[in-house]
Amino acid sequence: MDVRVGDILVMKKKHPCGENKFLVLRSGMDFKLRCTGCGHEIMVVRSKAEKNIKQIQRP
């Protein structure tokens, strides 16, 4: 799956704040994502993140 820095990922599951869109800050073996709702940053293993991606929005 081609995920680049700056992409917005629409996930299947929502963040606890209620938002399901995340901005990609870093990609590699794992992703560093920032919630577009509350700004919380998380690190997610690539295989787990790719399974939960519903859509990729490019700027």
Domain residue extents for the chain: 8-57
pTM here?
0.91
Please determine, for residue 1, whether its predicted confidence score (pLDDT) is greater than 90.
Answer: no
Q: Which residues contact 39 (CB under 8 A, 6 or more apart)?
A: none
**Is the CB of residue 20 less than 8 Å from the CB of residue 10?**
yes
What is the mean pLDDT of the segment spanning 16-23?
Answer: 96
| CA–CA gap between residue 51 and residue 49 (Å, rounded) | 5
Instruction: Report whether CATH 3.40.50 matches the domain 8-57.
Output: no
Confidence of residue 19 (pLDDT cuts 50, 70, 90): very high
Rounded mean pLDDT of the chain? 95
End-to-end CA distance of the chain: 17
